[in-house]
Structure 1
Amino acid sequence: MTPPPDDTAPDHSAPAHAVTQHEVTEADTALAVGSGSLPVLGTPRLLAWCEAATCAAIEHTVPAGSTSVGTRVELEHRVASPVGATLEVTATLAHVDGRLHRFSVAARHTGASGGKVVATGEVTRVVVDAERFLGRV
């Protein structure tokens, strides 16, 4: 007799990959987030979008009671994006070593300037027990 499936076990059947879309608003600009004086996409917001994509990519692999936390980021912001631009952000799992998950991330313009690479980089996340982690904060 086979045991019933464990609903708390991580699902490794789907690839760890995610794509998200974002439209640049005034609230996303360097001027608004305090990282510069121009009304173009601020690097801190772009980084947040990249991290969000990694969260979406890893969420189906994290067991119940656990979460992932960002521990390292490398991001090259190559091209400015004006208010109104739409970006597609991808996160693809590149390496796993136990609890450590390293993602390649990329952001591209869509629409008229579709495909233009805005940023590339790498985001590392570590899977942790959520309660234990918060107990140490």
Structure 2
Amino acid sequence: MLAANVHAANTEVCHPSSEKEIAGLFDRWNASLQTGDPDKVAANYARKSVLLATLSNKPRLTPEEKKDYFEHFLQGKPVGSIDSRSIEIDCNSAVDAGLYTFKFADGKQVKARYTYTYKWDGKQWLITSHHSSAMPEKN
């Protein structure tokens, strides 16, 4: 009887979601890049989150560190596009992993692997971890 009460106390209400909604979170993040405002990009991340960025060796753990990265990244006017993805959805969490390409204003392109993990905070989906690394093999 005690075990049932403990289990019931740990039950959380799951926010319903779909692959379309989770895929749209990349679109939201990418649209925030287009604003050129590092604060708007950083607002996509949960307060306690990690960014392992494509063009930086330093893990970005605080909102200030993420903003610092995006201040530099946004100077190139990047536009991201998904090349392939796999989405997994669980109770109040989701993972979007795959391949994407960034095109910059100077014509440069960077192909990279990515993983976004998201958590529903009761109001919105926020990024809890974002790993991005340039493709090791050149095509």
TM-score by length of 1: 0.36
Higher helix share: 2
Indicate the structure whose relative CO is greater, using CA pairs within 8 Å and at least 6 residues apart: 1
TM-score by length of 2: 0.36
